[in-house]
Amino acid sequence: MSLKYAVLGFLYEDAHHGYELKQRIEENFGEACTISYGQLYPTLHKLADTGYVRKKRESGKRALDKNVYIITEKGRRAFREWFENSPKKNQFSIKDEFTFFLLFLGKIKPDKTCEIIKKQLSQVITRCDRYREKLRRLKKERRNSYRVYLITKMVYHLEAEIKWLNDLIASYSEHTQR
């Protein structure tokens, strides 16, 4: 995802401190990613080192050592450069662990294949229903349309997955009937 540009993007309009950035990013990308402090803070330090952001110590009444990060003109340029010229590929991966596992499943346990795929299917259906429900709730609230788009995308891809797993089951039961 390149957290670097997510950070620059969120700092583009307003200064934030680290903890807040994690919240902002997860508010928006929640379904798509979780970020860890183990990645966020080093990223912020690196951005500060290369002069893309400026670090300002702020002594608020809450936790004492709060670092506010402010984007610099150099940082703005870098973000615009990425924004205008990056390739923007849709490259969702189909190489999840189950798909990978499937190759060996057919070879090693052909008798259990159908059963395992069905178990997988029921899990995906559950997940899909959960997202459909979340989508219904979000649409009622009528805010943060980006999250609505993201979850819609998730639902469509889960539906694709369900269709595929059903195909697999059909194809495997055909095999074993012979």
Q: In angstroms, what is the minimal distance from the CB of 47 to DNA?
A: 11
Task: Give which of DNA, its own copies, none residue 18 binds (C-beta under 5 to 8 Å, depending on kind).
Answer: DNA
C-alpha distances (whole Å) from 92 to each of 1, 37, 95, 107, 153 are 11, 25, 9, 27, 11
Per CB under 7 A, which of residues 29..68 are in contact with DNA?
33-39, 41-42, 44-45, 60-67
Judged by beta carbon distances under 5 to 8 A according to partner kind, the member of DNA, its own copies, none in contact with residue 140 is none
Cβ-contact 6, 44 below 8 angstroms: no
Tell me 94's DSSP state: -
Residue 27 · residue 59 · CB < 8 Å: no
Decide whether 50 or 123 has the Cβ nearer to its own copies.
Answer: 123
- CA–CA distance from 120 to each of 32, 97, 158, 166 (Å)? 21, 12, 12, 10
- 92 interacts with its own copies by CB under 8 A: yes
The alpha carbons of the chain give a radius of gyration, in whole angstroms, of 22
Q: Does 107 participate in binding DNA (rule CB under 7 A)?
A: no
The C-alpha atoms of residue 63 and residue 159 are separated, in whole angstroms, by 45
Instruction: Give the residues lining the site for its own copies (CB under 8 A).
Output: 1-2, 5-6, 9, 12-13, 28-29, 31-33, 83, 86-104, 106-108, 120, 123-124, 145-146, 149-150, 152-154, 156-157, 159-161, 163-164, 167-168, 171
Residues in contact with DNA by CB under 7 A are: 1-4, 17-20, 33-39, 41-42, 44-45, 60-67
